[in-house]
Structure formats: C-alpha cells, structure tokens
Amino acid sequence: MRRTRLFPRIALCLLLCTQLHAASHKPLEKRIAAILESADLARGFWGIEVVSLSTGKVLYARDADKLFTPASNTKLFTTAAAMALIGPDYTFHTTVETNGTLDTHGRLTGDLVLVGRGDPNLSGRELPYALHTERNDHPIRVLDQLADTLVQKGVKYVDGDIIADDSYFAFERYGEGWTQDDLVWADGAPVSALTINDNVIFVNILPADRAGDRAFVSITPFADYYRIDNRIMTTPAGTGRKIFINREPGATTLTLWGNMPLGDAGANEALAIEDPAEFAAELFRQLLEVRGIAVYGKQKTRHTELSSLSTLTVTASAAARGGDEPSRALQNQPLVLASYQSRPLIEDVRVINKVSQNLHAEILLRLLGREKGTAGTVEGGLEVLRGFLNQAGITGDQYSFYDGSGLSRQNLVTPHTVVQLLRYADAQPWGPSFRDTLPLSGTDGSLSNRFKNVDVQGRVLAKTGSLGGVKTLSGYATTNRGERVAFSILSNNFNLPDKRVNDTIDDIVDQILDDGKPKK
C-alpha cells in the first residue's frame, strides 16, 4: 500500500520539475530577442539564421533574407570555392629563368627573370599554422634561397636586366570598394602574383636615449625601398605615445610624426608597399650583388595590363596546373635556373580563415580566375565563384561580391546564403578539411580571445568579420545536446565599441548552444 501511494507522488514531482524547467528555459527566439532589445543594439541591423545540419530545420531566423555587408565572412565563399575547384593539394611554383645562355665563365647573356605565380607565402611565416601566426627572422628567406641557387649554378655576371614578372595575374592591385585609408596598411596590401613578405615592410620605432631627440626608425626587409621622413620626437617618460604615419597613394615616401616617451617598449607597424614586382626586382638585385653577382642591366617589372587582356588567349585546363608552366608562351622554352615549390594550398586556406588574411584571399580569387576561368583577374575569379555558388544552389540575387576578402564595402549577402554555403560545404568530401580551417572558439585565430568559457571553448568553428560599423560571425557549432548547427550572424550600421558588438554576438551564440540540456 505504501509503495502504491508513493508512485503517484513521484510522478507528480517529475511533472512539476519538467514544467518548471520548461518555464525557466524560454524558446530561442525569445532569448535572442531579449539580448537585442537593448536600445543601443536596436538602432543597428541584425540578420541571423541557425539551421540544424542533421535535419535542415531552421531553428531561428531574423531578417535572414535581407542583404548585409559581410566583411570578412566573404572569405568563406572564396576559400570554399578554392577547396572545391582547385583542391587542397595545389602548390605554387616560383622560378628564376632566362631566355639567354649561361657560359662556362658564369656569364649570363640575357635577362634574369623572377617569375611569380601567386605564392602568397614567400615570407617569414611559419607553416603549418598552429594556434597563432609565427614569423621567423628571415622574411625574404625564399629569395635568399633562389639567389643562393644561382651562385651554386655558377652565375657570376648578368649582362641583361633583372625582371620581376607578376604577369600570371593582371596588374589589378586593389579591389573595388576599398577605401584610401586601407591602402597604407597591411590589411590593404596590393595584390600581385609575385608577393614578398605579404607585400609589406615592417617599420620599427624606438625612443632615443634623451628627450628632445628624434626617435629611431628602422625598416625590414629592404630598408632602401621607402624614403623616411621621420618627425617623431622622444619625450619625457610618462608623457604617453602618439604616432601618426602617412603615405600618399603612388608615393614611396613615409612621413612619421608624433611623440614617443623615454622607456617606451617601441612600436612596430606593417605598412603596404606600392608595387610588389618593383619591390621584388630591387630586392632581388640587391641580394645578387651581395653575393658577388655583377648585374650590368637595370631592374624592371613585367605586368599584364587589364587593357591588354582582350588580345591574350588564356586557356583553363580541366585540372589545376599547379602554376608550373613558363611565364609566357615562347617558341623557345626559358632556361629555369632556380625554383621554389610551396606547401599545399590547404595550409594557406587555414591562414586565410584563421587570421583573416586579406591579401591571400585576394590572391585566391585571382587564382580561381586563372586556373578555372578566363583570366587571373578579379572579374575572372568572381565569374568562377558565381558558377560554383550556382552549383551549390545559391542564386545571384542572394549576394553581390566585388572582391575575395570582404574589404570591399560594396559586398552584400544574406544570412540565409551564408548558412546555405556552410551546409553545402559540410556535405562535401572536402568539408571536414574546410571546417578545420576556421577559427576555433577560445583556442586559435581570430577567436582565440573569445568564448573562453570552458563550456563553450572548442565547440564553435566560425569565421569572424569586421569593418567600421560591421561585425559578423558565421560557422558551425555543437549544442549542449550534441546537435550540430550552421549559423550566420551579420550586424551592420553600428556606432558602438567593437567589444560591445562582439560580446552581443557571443551572447547570441551562447543561446544557440543552450538548447535546454544541462551543460556537460
């Protein structure tokens, strides 16, 4: 009798607990609405979509079919297309070649040509990428290796010119919709098929020993490329640091002004160069002369101008060529004196997505056009991208892209389109590799300092995006119940501190993960 009476009481308690839990755990829609109802956040625009990867069910949507500026979420489209069409094993091939001859006395009759075919990692970056970007002390190591090989081949004299050839892509350094301010800094470095050290120089600034003296400014690599107008003064300790840098478009003069206090640890800025091929030609000549190779000609560049593309015939092969064909279709094949082969493309896709590397994404867009389209141009790459998205079931009215990195403010895309791309990628053979290139919450890349909560760390793989008034985050997540979802959060038109918007996005992701089951 006692047991019989006990069972109804237990059942009643379980029912009450269930009802209390349901009442305390509001639907996802209400929880996200509560986050975004704050007045400062409500003034901006939010587009969100969350979809279950197993069922395809839309778990949450807010203005998911409206167009937003995606910022660096654009890179998801560029890198996914590259993984699908070019493949993770593609390698870049950089050569030093000549149409002349090399005699037994080490005399090269003819020009010496440094040919770039899009390798973005002719730099001091350590690969494979692990947790954060690491650079060694040799930003021009590959050029050093190529120059050493020429010495080993017995080259002592060059009768012709030193030519830096970046004609593999069109001479189209900047994207449509980039601002003038972008072009000074590393984020807006010019695009070229011959890229040395991410097409930037590092400017290091240190205080002098005495207040009133000019600060010390040094440049690496190739200190002679820019002329420095240094007006930064050393001030007494504790006065605070203010540094300003200016370079007019097309100029090779850097003007620096401001102040740096005594005892300051110093500042280091990465500044974009003007013409990557010109930079490479001057630097390579210097490296040859340091090794005792006499160069009697001048240094020159070889570009493919956009205006000349109508007269050129570019044939895209069915499979990626690997960038190993000669720089020009000549009857007499050039003599290759030195060469360098890159690591597989997947290593650079990881760099692009983990740290949001703009220049490398732009190179990838042009590579799509060169390898799978009509030409190594922005439009050639975008045409290939449109074809890829069409195969993924994404129609042209859902997006508008003008570059491959997201630096363009003219780019537009809907949250639904981003999720649609993520779902498509997840179902492809290259999907797992693509997911692993995204920043991991609380661990690496642009998410290394976000989602530090131990319950969330490692459960979100997502691409960040940031422009003035724009913050975005799109990718994959695993909920408390173990359900995998694809999500896109695009926020536009804000006049708020970056941290305020990032924290809001992170709070929304926390609610997506919290689907009612207690955290493990």
Alpha-carbon distances, residue 355 vs 379, 450, 486 (angstroms): 25, 14, 21
List, by residue range, all CATH 3.40.710.10 domains of the chain: 26-86+344-513
Burial class (CB in 10 A: 0-12, 13-18, 19+), 16: exposed
Instruction: Please answer whether residues 147 and 291 qualify as being in contact, where contact means their C-beta atoms are separated by less than 8 angstroms.
Output: yes
DSSP readout, 381-436? HHHHHHHHHHHTT--GGGEE-S-SSS--TT-EE-HHHHHHHHHHHHTSTTHHHHHH
Burial class from Cβ neighbours inside 10 Å (0-12, 13-18, 19+) for residue 156 reads middle
Decide the pairing of beta strands 200-206 and 267-272.
Answer: antiparallel
Answer yes or no: are the C-beta atoms of 285 and 299 closer than 8 Å: yes
- At residue 458, the 3 state secondary structure works out as coil
Query: Parallel, antiparallel, or unpaired for β 253-261 and 107-109?
Result: unpaired
d(CA 510, CA 106): 66
Computed on alpha carbons and rounded to an integer, the radius of gyration of the chain in Å comes to: 27
Rounded to an integer, what distance in angstroms lies between the CA atom of residue 435 and that of residue 45? 27
d(CA 371, CA 315): 8
- DSSP letters spanning 56-118: --EEEEESTTS-B--GGGHHHHHHHHHHHHT-TT---EEEEEESSEE-TTSEEES-EEEE--S
**What parts of the chain have a pLDDT lower than 50?**
1, 16-24, 311-321, 325-330
Q: Which of 323, 344, 334, 338 is nearest to 95 (CA)?
A: 338
Rounded-to-integer distance, Cα 453 and Cα 443, Å: 11
The b-or-e profile of 371-390 (16+ CB within 10 A means b, else e) is bbbbbbbbbbbbbbbbebbe
Yes or no: say if 99 and 386 are a contact pair by the CB < 8 Å rule: no
Q: Say which residues have a Cβ less than 8 Å from residue 184's Cβ, sequence separation at least 6.
A: 245, 246, 247, 271, 272
- 247 Cβ partners below 8 Å, 6+ apart? 184, 226, 253, 254, 255, 271
Q: Order of strands across the sheet with 484-492?
A: 58-62, 45-52, 484-492, 470-478, 460-467
The pLDDT value recorded for residue 224 is: 85
Return the pLDDT at 21.
46
C-alpha span between 512 and 487 (Å, rounded): 9
Rounded CA-CA distance 205/216 in Å is 6
Q: Which two tokens stand for residue 211?
A: 């207040």
- CA distances, 515 to each of 20, 59, 176, 508 (Å): 16, 10, 42, 12
What 3-state DSSP class applies to 438?
coil
3-class secondary-structure state, position 299:
strand
pLDDT at 216: 96
* Separation in Å, CA 212 to CA 34, 234, 236, 242, 297: 55, 5, 8, 15, 45
Task: Give one DSSP letter per residue of 188-224, joined into a string.
Answer: GPPP-SS-BGGGEEEEEEE--SSTTSBPEEEEES-TT
Can you tell me whether residue 364 is helix, strand or coil? helix
Residues of the chain with CATH 3.50.80.20: 91-173+276-343
Tokens 């699908």 belong to residue: 84
Indicate the helix (H) or strand (E) that contains 284.
helix 276-290
Classify 268 as helix, strand or coil: strand
CATH architecture for the domain at 91-173+276-343? 3-Layer(bba) Sandwich (3.50)
Looking at domain 26-86+344-513, its CATH superfamily turns out to be DD-peptidase/beta-lactamase superfamily (3.40.710.10)
The pLDDT score that the predictor gives to residue 300 is: 96
Question: Two tokens at 394?
Answer: 């994404």
